[in-house]
Amino acid sequence: FWVETSVSLVIVILLSVGYETLENSNLGICIGRKICCSPYYQGDNFWNSFFDFLFNLVGFCIVFSIRINYYK
């Protein structure tokens, strides 16, 4: 499933920011406490969320470079 590169980038950004927001919301923290079996889980700190977002963009760049080299 390929769309225009700019649309793909916007989708990646929106999904990354949306997931990080949900993960650190009250609902996400409650789910994290259940999954991690830790009643003290308080969500990610800013830097963890920032680097999660950054590495999502790095993954996009890797896939984009593979796509460019494959469809020359």
In this structure, the number of other CB atoms found within 10 A of the CB of residue 69 comes to 8
The Cα–Cα gap between 71 and 61 comes to 15
55 or 43, which is more confident? 55
- pLDDT tens per residue across span 7-44: 989 999 999 999 999 999 999 999 988 988 888 888 88
In order of 1, 22, 23, the CA distances from 47 in angstroms are 31, 16, 14
Instruction: Give the per-residue pLDDT at 39.
Output: 86
Instruction: Give the per-residue pLDDT at 72.
Output: 64
